[in-house]
Amino acid sequence: MDMNRETASASQRPEHISDAIRVQRDVVDHAMLSTDKSSLSSHLETLGRWLGRRYKFSQNATDVEEAVLSHRRAIEYFPSNPQYLFTLSQSLRLQFGRSQKLEHIEEAISLAREAISLTPEGEQSAQVRRMYELTLALHGKCEILVQIEDVDEAVANSLRCVALTQPNDRDEEDRPVLPPRLMYLGVALQHRYQLTRRIADLQEAIVAHEKAVALTPEFDRNLPAMLNNLCIALQRQYEATGDGGCVDRVIAMRRRMVNEEERKRPQSPDLPSWVGGLANALHLRFRRFGLASDIDDAVANHTRAIVMSSPTDPHLPTMFTNFANALRSRAELNTSVEDIDQALDCLGKARALTPNSHHLDRSSQYLALGGAHQVRFRYGHDPTDILLSVEYLRESVELLSPTQTPVSSSSPATLRQNARLAIPLNNLGISLRLRFEREGDLSDIQEAISVQQKAVGMTPRDHADYPSRLANLGNSFLYRFGRTKDKSDLEEAIRYQEAAIRHAPSDHPQLPARMSNLGLSLRTLAELTRQLPDFDKAIAGLKTAIALEAVVRNPPLHSHITDALGTVSHERFKVSNSLEDIKEAISFRRKAVSLLTESDTSPSLYQYLNNLGASLHILFRQTGEITHLDEAIAVLQRALDIIPESSAQTFLRLSLRTNLADTQATRYSLSKEIHYGRESAFNWEEVALDPVLSPWIRIRIAKRLAKLTKRFDRGRCLSAYKLCIQLISVISGLEQTIQRRHSALASISNITLEAAAVAVELGVAELAMEWLEQGRCLVWTQLNSLRTPVDPLRSVNPELADRLTHLSPLLEKMGSRNVHTSPTPESESVPLDYTGPSLAVDMDTERKIMLQDDVVSHVNLAQEWEEVLTQVRAMDGLENFFKPPPVEEWFDLIPANGVVVVIVIHQTRCDVLVLQPGATKPLHLHLQELTYDMVEEWRTSLHRSLVTEGVRMRGYDGTGSGGGDPVRPVDNVNEPDDRVIRPMRRVGGSSSVLEHVLKQLWTRIAKPIVDTLALKASKGRVPEQRIWWCPTGSLSFLPLHAAGIYGRSDAVGISDYAVSSYIPTLSSLLECLKSNLESDTPSKAPAERGVLLIGEHNAPGLPAIPGAKTEVKSIKSQLTSRGIPTMTLGGETDSMAVIEAGVSNMNKYTCVHLACHAKQDTNEPLRSGFHLHDGRLELSKIIQVNMTNADLAFLSACETSTGDEKLSEEAVHLAAGMLAAGYRGVVGTMWSIKDKYASEIAESFYDDLLTRSAVAGTPDIDGRHAGQSLHQAITHGIREKLGNTPESLLVWVPYVHFGL
């Protein structure tokens, strides 16, 4: 029965009402002839009321339209009459019930409010009636558009209405008025509960409904409506708490209502709604307990309700939607495609009957459509289904959004206003995760986590759906971990999975599956931690799950958990190396296969065979018994032969191929039978080339393929390495922060050197160079791409150029953001299993939601960037846009007096590739007297000696700590964030170690290169020859520029033959050389000439370096005397060297000179930086500056080109960072510099540079001569002063030049 329906008393039959209307019309016509407007308006109002009564019987639109018109005419005469306003509000509400137009109900609400405000205070009865009318009007609006302010008003109004109603108050038909008013109070509270999920509102609603039912006589025709609303409230209580007693009570009540109605009024228009309500209750119970009889009964009752309904029944769309949801549930139980197709048909009918203004109904329909397509995708794996599922669920979410802001951009606080969103958000997350599984698009799993975090955040912890939403969120984190291998994702997955189990009832049907999933997640964590107790915890959890009665009675689930136990035992073996573990794994896995019937063709069978084959392979490796290996091959081949070639089994089929390839490769290595090798290569290649897999998996497989085929298939080997290089770029994509990219590259950068070494060995040095360019210094290359001018594109396609220009700074900003997500102390104070009153989103969850939204935005920006680049590169002449220069351009750009020397250091071989001007391919030199281990030993011993010497900060004195007294490490309690390794007494003497290393570098590397190139010594002057060194691996941390034999009168070294500079990549040099050819002098606006001098001699918490103050003062005087503009921060000036001032002024000057302490942070390289007065000017901040006319940076500090051994191929140091920020050249240091010589070297450098710049015709400093000037300042300056003693090496060797 419609809750808005008001009926006339039994004595007011339709024919009597019609008679009354005819009489009243005559009265109105007669009154029209009178001048008594008061009488006329009264008669018009009465006519309107009679027409409204007849409409309730006739449902004739003309009646309600005439009623509205009569009331409007009455108000024309007396617009402030509260009674007339009240009755017009009633008629408009009735008209809205038919038209469903928001303007009708909005006007009704407005009129009711006005009527209340105009009612005199003494007319309490009239006041209460009008308040009740306002409640009805607000309820009508909330049926199609729920807004929190309307609901709050309805609740407050209903409470006042009930409070002012006496138990014995009666209406004009002598019926008690308190029960319906209590009922509508309950309805308003239910509406508010739907928005806020405050359980107190629901409990108060149930109390109000129970009172209404108790006060209503048995024979009252409104009793069914009141029982119906009580049932709805109890159903919602069940949904919130999972209390089975609630739903049993509802089903019993609804059966009674249906039976009574069928007995008394078999043709009752309310009967379909009662039957549909019974079906909904049965469906609810099925979702809790999973009984097939309940869902079959629900479907039967839904069918019956729809058959009984009138085609014009306004509830019909909702009935179709509920029927579709029940069909979907039965389809999931029985894997019935027919049920899903019927559900989609029902939803099509529901949509056709629903006006666009019915946001709630449309949202429910889109929710059901998204769920139905989600289920059909699980069965058929048609990509169209999952696409439609995602889009429908997005529509459902947006229709419920409380603001105009899209839900994806809404804050958690905004979303809390509408808790209805939790259901579609949760389902949207599931569909996005399913699409990620199929297509591998990272943005899908990022968004899935984001929306599911919102769903969890707005769900009270005592709600029945809270555990399932926790489990779904945990699963999404687990899937993302599979892609990113980020341990924090796995830890989050376990955290949510454990909470889902804690919050679920002990008899929940999903509990075994959740326990199984948790066990597998714990196994994955144990693989990372390599701790046996973690494996034992996973095994114990799975054994607990397998002992559950629900598991024993369910063979597929029993088999699944048994196989999971085999998986954990298999992985435990990898840590314990115990033969018993792998044997137990095989035992579990054989049992898992045996629990499935012979005719079973479910994916589980293929998976269990796959797992069994893998364990048998391991057993062979332990025992050496060939029968185990042959059985493994047979088992895996059997599974691969029977698995369907459908997209549904793509991942499993690829896993089978991988394991089969592993066993075949093992067989090949034993027997040397080529067919095993070729079969293995074929299977690995199929896996490596499939884009649906994680790039981490593909690169691992491609590397195996390359190593295998190097023996018998040169072409396939090189193709595999080429794929590895491509995948490195994918793994370190722009969608990640720079910090995350560096973290990813730390574990895979060596692949580039391996590929290059093999390419050189196979005689394709050009390919080796290409790979080195594509696979090294990726982060700096990406940053350079974001900053490269788009002028060539703008002249062809301005629109695409504008898009790239818009995206570049956004991506750069996103890439530079911090991603620390460890819990805050505030968030840790509220545990996940907190069971008190829910605030829906705690601070930790809200913070994570915001962070996740940033991740989604970042991924979307990166995708758009790639899409635009794809469009650009499809255009004629722009195929290599934003790519490294093609090979044919390399040699033409190198100056006539220069060469580029790339040195490839790998465990298998060491080679030199020389690029000379005018050549067509690199000159190859195999360093036969050099090994990887030698270089690593030199690096380690030099590092150790420098640490022991204390040569790690500017200002060390090179003598230990005063005379010969023993020195111990000193703890500085005021320096919690250690800037450097603290000084200790030297043990072996760094100078002697350094002298040895330099000699080895000369004899084994530099001397063979000098001889091969036939370079001539230039004693007594700066050589014309230039060498740009591009070392790799551990050689990146050694001073090649100083290679030589010292400590004797006939000292010899590379500095006698060439001026040395370093470059991170060939491309970084070629870009500078290219721009150098286009402009003889750097492009500098007058306001951007000169040098910014930054000096900090007394940084808080660090040793004073008085020489820095002297250095800045001397250089300023030197530059000013030559007419060079300068600005000084720190030193002896009033302007302090603070971070913001330094950053903001860098872009105003072409050169910068920093004299201060510096810090190389090996844990977070981008936090390396310069210590100024107010803290550390970090590399991450410097690279954001993007200085367009920057020329030269002189970094008179320690460790500015040290780098990080974990990222040897990424050049993560301050000197490279300054190049990335835009400087064409950088002078830096490999370790500490002595304070007393720093100023002297800098002054000598600038003196020579200013002279060379003037000779070249440059009005100020020209950084293109910086390499020669540093050579002059060192070789013919400080070295001549100090001599070639071993001790002097520590003074000048650290100085290096990078770039042009």
Q: Residue 851 is which amino acid?
A: L
Residues 6 or more apart whose CB falls under 8 angstroms from that of 436 comprise 442, 444, 445, 448, 479
Whole-number Å distance between alpha carbons of 1046 and 918: 35
The per-residue b/e assignment along 327-349, b for 16 or more CB within 10 angstroms, e otherwise, is bbbbbbeeebeebbebbbebbeb
- Which ranges of 197-336 does DSSP label H, i.e. alpha helix? 199-215, 223-241, 244-264, 271-289, 292-308, 316-334
Section 816-838 average pLDDT:
38
Cα torsion 1275, 1281, 1286, 1290: sign: negative
Least confident of 288-292, 360-364, 780-784: 780-784
pLDDT of amino acid 988: 43
Q: Is 1 within 8 Å of 228 (Cβ atoms)? A: yes
Section 1267-1286 average pLDDT:
89
Q: Residue 416 is which amino acid?
A: R
Angle between helices 124-142 and 178-196 (to 10 degrees): 40
The residue to which tokens 């998986």 are assigned: 567
Checking phi first, is residue 987 left (phi over 0); if not, alpha (psi -120 to 50) or beta? alpha
Whole-number Å distance between alpha carbons of 133 and 1293: 91
Whole-number Å distance between alpha carbons of 443 and 432: 9
Is 172 a residue whose pLDDT tops 90? no
pLDDT of amino acid 1076: 64
Section 22-29 average pLDDT:
90
Q: What would the two tokens of residue 252 be?
A: 């019993």
The model's confidence at residue 1286, banded by pLDDT at 50, 70 and 90, is confident
Residue 1082 DSSP SS3:
coil
Residues 6 or more apart whose CB falls under 8 angstroms from that of 678 comprise 712, 713
Q: What would the two tokens of residue 1060 be?
A: 């040395």
Per the model's pLDDT, the better-predicted residue between 842 and 674 turns out to be 674
pLDDT of amino acid 1103: 87
pLDDT of amino acid 1077: 56
Section 653-674 average pLDDT:
93
Q: Are strands 1151-1155 and 1192-1196 parallel, antiparallel or unpaired?
A: parallel
Q: What would the two tokens of residue 289 be?
A: 């307990």
Whole-number Å distance between alpha carbons of 1203 and 1211: 6
Per the model's pLDDT, the better-predicted residue between 1283 and 1192 turns out to be 1192
Burial class (CB in 10 A: 0-12, 13-18, 19+), 1257: exposed
pLDDT of amino acid 754: 95
Is 286 a residue whose pLDDT tops 50? yes
The residue to which tokens 């005199």 are assigned: 120
Say which DSSP state 822 is in: P
Dihedral angle at the C-alpha atoms of 671, 675, 676, 679, nearest 10 degrees? 170
Dihedral angle at the C-alpha atoms of 381, 384, 386, 392, nearest 10 degrees? -150
pLDDT digits over 536-553, tens only?
988 988 888 888 777 777
**What is each CA distance from 1192 to 675, 1091, 1244, 1246, 1250, in whole angstroms?**
59, 9, 16, 11, 13
Q: CA angle, 524 as apex, 519 and 528 as ends, to 5°?
A: 140
pLDDT of amino acid 461: 82
pLDDT digits over 1038-1087, tens only?
999 999 999 777 889 999 999 999 998 888 888 888 776 555 444 444 44
Is 529 a residue whose pLDDT tops 60? yes
Is 408 a residue whose pLDDT tops 60? no
Other CB atoms within 10 Å distance of the CB of residue 850: 13
pLDDT of amino acid 419: 67
Q: What would the two tokens of residue 69 be?
A: 């018109």
Q: Is 1076 within 8 Å of 1053 (Cβ atoms)? A: no
Cα torsion 162, 166, 172, 173: sign: positive
pLDDT of amino acid 1201: 74
Least confident of 257-271, 664-678, 1220-1234: 257-271
pLDDT of amino acid 853: 63
Q: Is 343 within 8 Å of 331 (Cβ atoms)? A: yes
Is 705 a residue whose pLDDT tops 60? yes
Q: Are strands 1175-1178 and 1169-1172 parallel, antiparallel or unpaired?
A: antiparallel
Say which DSSP state 451 is in: H
Whole-number Å distance between alpha carbons of 175 and 385: 54
Is 610 a residue whose pLDDT tops 80? yes
Q: Residue 1189 is which amino acid?
A: N
Q: What would the two tokens of residue 1094 be?
A: 């930054």
**What is each CA distance from 475 to 400, 433, 470, 499, in whole angstroms?**
25, 9, 9, 12
pLDDT digits over 469-488, tens only?
999 999 999 999 988 888 99
Q: What would the two tokens of residue 598 be?
A: 């012979």
Identify the CA nearest to 698 among candidates 710, 711, 685. 685
Section 242-265 average pLDDT:
81
pLDDT digits over 960-1000, tens only?
433 333 333 333 333 333 323 233 333 345 668 999 999 99
The model's confidence at residue 1163, banded by pLDDT at 50, 70 and 90, is low
Say which DSSP state 1094 is in: E
Q: Is 1152 within 8 Å of 1177 (Cβ atoms)? A: no
Residues in the chain: 1300
What is 1034-1055 written as a DSSP string?
GGGGS-GGG-EE-SSTT-EEGG
Q: Are strands 1151-1155 and 1091-1095 parallel, antiparallel or unpaired?
A: parallel
Is 1009 a residue whose pLDDT tops 90? yes
pLDDT of amino acid 670: 92
Q: What is the mean pLDDT of the chain?
A: 84
Q: Is 1073 within 8 Å of 894 (Cβ atoms)? A: yes
